[in-house]
Structure 1
Amino acid sequence: MKESKAAKLKGFKHSRPGLYLGIGSSAFGAIGVIRDARAARGERDTLKLVNAVVAAVALVTSTALLIRELKQLGDDDILLG
């Protein structure tokens, strides 16, 4: 039985390369958040600044989850000891 494309993608999401890709995507997202925060500070727009801070917290949280999953993946690997 062939595995569907959706099932393959779900498997990739929880693989080592998939987790690294997620962390890299978060890094690129941080660039946008920093840009938005600087623009909000320049405009003295508190609401936009709050939005940038919330987005930054979400990026930090998602990156921490990815790193935790990456560590758990490493703990399950017998060859890594």
Structure 2
Amino acid sequence: MSKKQKSKTSMYISLGSTLFGTVSVAKRLKEARREGDKLQLADALVSAAAIVTGVAILARELRRMSGDESDILAD
């Protein structure tokens, strides 16, 4: 297994674990809305934003690894 493949595999694992975290955040959002707790809602929204940003960064790195130069998130 080449270093590039290992890197790509670890990126997919990171992406999967990040997406798995969305379940927890979705539950927190739902509970905060149900209880009307604005502080918990703000915390869950910040967590959701962090997940979205993390997924975007991982997706960009995967595109770079595959050599796709049509990435809209590229620097």
Which category of TM-score, normalised to the shorter sequence, fits these structures? Answer: 0.7 to 0.9
- Sequence identity (%): 38
Counterpart in the other structure of 1:30: 22
Task: Give me the whole-angstrom Cα distance separating, in 2, the residues matched to 1:32 and 1:48.
Answer: 13
Gaps of 5+ in 2: 69-75
Please report the TM-score for the alignment, with normalisation by the length of structure 1. 0.74
Counterpart in the other structure of 2:31: 39
Q: How many residue pairs align between the two structures?
A: 65
Measured on the aligned residues, the alpha-carbon RMSD in Å equals 1.9
Counterpart in the other structure of 1:74: 66
Q: Write out the 4+ residue segments of structure 1 that deviate beyond 4 Å after TM superposition.
A: none
Q: 1:51 aligns with which of 24, 43, 52?
A: 43
Gaps of 5+ in 1: 1-10, 77-81
Counterpart in the other structure of 1:21: 13
* Aligned residue type for 2:57: L
